[in-house]
Amino acid sequence: MKNTVRALSLLSLTLILGACGQNSATPTTATNPQGVSLPAELRGANTAEGKWFVELQGDPTAISVQSVSSQQAAFRSQAAALGIKYQEVESYSTLFNGFSVVATGADINRISRMQGVLGVYPVHKVDLPVTEKSSESALSALTPDMFYAKSMTGADIAQNELGLTGKGIKVGVIDSGIDVDHPAFKGRIVAGYDFVGDDYGKDGKYVPVPDPNPDDCGGHGTHVAGIIGGNDPSMIKNGVGFKGVAPEVSFGAYRIFGCTGSSYDDVILKAMERSVADGMQVVNMSLGSAFDNWEATPLAKAGSRMIKKGVVLVASAGNSGASGQYSMGGPTMGDNVISVASVDNIKIDLDSFTLSNGTKVGYYTATGAPVPTKGSTFAITKKAGSTTTTTNDGCTASGGFAAGSLTGKAVLIRRGTCTFYEKASNAQKAGAAAVILYNNTAGYISPTVAGDPAITIPVVSVSDVDGKTIDGLIAGGISLTFDGGKVAVANPTANASSSFSAIGMSAELEFKPDIGAPGGNIYSTYPLSADPTGYEVLSGTSMASPHVAGAVALLLQAYPTTQAKDMRTLLMNTASLRWYLNGSTLINGLPDYAQRQGAGMVDIVGAYTNTVRATPTKLSLGASNTFATRNKVIVLKNTGPRREVYAAYNYPALTIAGTTMAPTPDDNYATMTINGQSADGATGVEVVVPPFGEVELNVVITPPAGAPDKSQYGGYVYLESTTSPKLVVPYGGFKGDYQSLASFNPTMILGGKAYPQPWLVDDAADDFYTKGQTLATMPDYTFKKVDVTDSDGKVTQVMDAPYLLVSKAQQIRKLTFELLDANGAVVDTLAKDEYLGRSCTNNWANKSSSCDVYDVYNWDGKLSNGTAAPAGTYQLRLRALKPLGDESNPAHTEVYTSQQFKVVR
């Protein structure tokens, strides 16, 4: 391994580097001309009700139940006395002291100012994590995806050689439930509850109908539970039945999703409290709220308190890697919660078609397109002039396809520039009988082509390698037949961090995620009602977390006195690093971003056999402008009778440059000394840990001088032994002034132009005013309902009241919303919001139900005491305190002040 470690210094990489480390790209900006409308969907945003958490002062794990109850009763009385209107949905007293409520923005603003209120936070809608489902039949072939994954983590050795099965350990699964009739869980579901019912989320309606039976009709939870500890001897392949990581655990099933649709944070928090009450020792949460990137937000804080109560909480890091840095969120951010990143599996089983030269090619069927008909045969063609480097193949802007040019044929189209739907739609219009999409980077894609009008021809996707191969055969004549078979292929991205896995660190520059596990193409249990075989292959970061939850169960069986707060140390210390995937090349010896992979792949056997513990488990180094170097002490404690000798190295990982939303790799690395000696050389620093003794490592880390400003650097204190498992302690830091990152984003909405944010919106005038825009006429607001006629003649009733649209470029520690008079003096503080997540995107075209582009701050014309503001001239102001910012330092607060407007009474 020593040669591999030192190989890093010899690598000469050709990387595409960002020009700067700003937190967002800077597109062409524009000033809004009068008369340009916001999208119609925003009308009425200033009067819409939302769901919020209200947190009261007092940690429920530190005060009595009577104190919690008294605080909550006092809140209700005070709110009623102030005339604040809200609907209480849930109350909490075990992991969170407070409520979830439905209220308008104006009323939640008043609640945020009430005595005894610690904070208010939006209750996020949580989508059932996106997974890709194969059409595999388990009866025809029990493919070894789960077996491969178990070999990656060492679970196979733990079961077969160490005798660990998780017996006696209770594992809670907060998800879509578990199929109670599945043979893999027979007699082992010992607790559970359905918080929502089958129809929760159906047709966009979220009315919970709870009952005691947590049976799963969605599939996700059953698949997760199977990875943790499914056990089905009847499903045999090559003499081996199906087993998850810990096949003898007992389960608690906590259903927070209906058969379709999403869930909400307040339902999830209720399930978290129930799992603790039911005595779960381990809880898996393969879900989260992206960008809710603080330890102090409700679900993360509840997760931290679960650890204090002795429950090991394992949570997925999230699937928002494509949205850039600081993209994690939800319970995974809790202190001592084990945050799990995804690693690509080493094998993939795919549906296949056969080329006329006899070659079998694996493919994914696109979501939104029909499944290919078995036995159908098509000649393959492509667009004239298309090559394997064409960037806009099949796009409308490049001319699409000539009418009738594809009639009856399958067309090969390279990924790039426009959407998969646009490519498939253009091919369908040109008469294509099928579409073969191929990747423009390493590996496979799982495309979606849903749209209007619908795609009615089969659309499949193949790897970049297979696409190039087919492209080279077209000139000589080639056809394909959908044979209905399967093909096992080596995953081109095997053992690399999954590209979709969310990137840390936390908003407060705490190192996250913690550890990785297999998350791609995992074979596991599935509800019998959805698939009579009871098995499916799914992919997603959701599949990574249960591998670690199962590993925790195995280690708790082996070491039952291990405290919940210490379990993460056992796993992280012995993790195995993942290498960087540069295009289609996995560069052995060069670690991927530490902020994406954490400590690396979980190694169950290493954690079981290791006798030396390194604490702290990870090093969060903060921003380099405050300290040129960081001094840390790592304690190595030997619990065994053998003297242990290590060579200690600095093993730097790639630096994250580019922008917050579009990161790029940089090969400038931090340097390190250990106990006063350079740890950057080929020999390392010798460290001796005596039997049953401990030693200290004095570690000094210097940020990379050549790295771009505002980049994240990271790496590992790497301790190598010839007789024992190697140890790793990851580190991460920020290069430069963290408070120099902007809080507000310019937002692209019209013609690709970005308009400075925030915006003051005037629904009645069907207009909005961008930051810094000079207005010829001062807007006025009557706070009355008025009718607005769209360009198509549709009449909509809106409230004539001002509100702000805010796109957040970065997490915000505290956002203060103020009303100013004509002279700029503060009339009233309307709201104080804390621990805010950043926006998913600043491009309106990329927004979705799970990817927001803005937040709304509205004013209903009333002061915080409930009285109406008199007629006059006013402004609205936002003051954004940046993460880790000092309120006494003006440079740490970004300020926006709206244009002046009139209140008309």
Question: Measured between alpha carbons, how far is residue 826 from residues 113, 355, 886 in Å?
Answer: 16, 73, 21
Q: Per DSSP, which regions of 17-72 are E strands?
A: 49-56
Q: Among all residues, which ones are annotated catalytic? A: 175, 220, 542
What backbone phi and psi angles, to 5 degrees, belong to 762? -130, 90
Computed over its alpha carbons, how large is the radius of gyration of the chain? Answer: 28
Structure tokens at 235: 């499903």
User: How far is the C-alpha of 321 from the C-alpha of 497, rounded, in Å?
Assistant: 10
Alpha helices, DSSP H, located in 403-492:
420-429, 464-474
Structure tokens at 705: 């001088």
CB 754 within 8 A of CB 27: yes
Structure tokens at 271: 């399930």
* Closest by Cα among 694, 578, 756 to 31: 756
Structure tokens at 766: 């069907």
Burial class (CB within 10 angstroms; exposed 0-12, middle 13-18, buried 19+) of 682: exposed
Three-state SS letters, 209-235: CCECCCCCCCCHHHHHHHHHHCEEEEE
Q: How many CA atoms lie within 13 A of 453 on its CB side?
A: 6
Residue 185 identity = F
CB atoms closer than 10 angstroms to residue 558:
17
Burial track 8-21 (b if 16+ CB lie within 10 A, e otherwise): beeeeeeeeebeeb
**Residue labelled with tokens 């204090």:** 308
Give the SS3 label for residue 545. Answer: helix
Burial class (CB within 10 angstroms; exposed 0-12, middle 13-18, buried 19+) of 466: buried
DSSP 719-759: EE-SSS--EEEEEEEE-S-GGGS-SB--EEEETTEEE-S-E
CB 195 within 8 A of CB 152: no
User: How far is the C-alpha of 633 from the C-alpha of 649, rounded, in Å?
Assistant: 15
Structure tokens at 18: 């960002």
Bridge partner residues of 677 (DSSP):
674
**CA 386 to the chain's CA centroid:** 36
CB atoms closer than 10 angstroms to residue 789:
10
What backbone phi and psi angles, to 5 degrees, belong to 224? -60, -45
Structure tokens at 362: 């694996």
- Who's near 853: CB < 8 A, 6+ residues apart? 747, 807, 839, 840, 841, 842, 843, 844, 846, 847
Residue 808 identity = K
Bridge partner residues of 251 (DSSP):
171, 189
- Who's near 626: CB < 8 A, 6+ residues apart? none
CB atoms closer than 10 angstroms to residue 553:
32
* Closest by Cα among 482, 265, 186, 521 to 361: 482
DSSP 8-state symbol, 423: H
Longest dimension (CA), the chain: 83
Q: At what angle do helices 265-277 and 298-308 cross, to 10 degrees?
A: 10
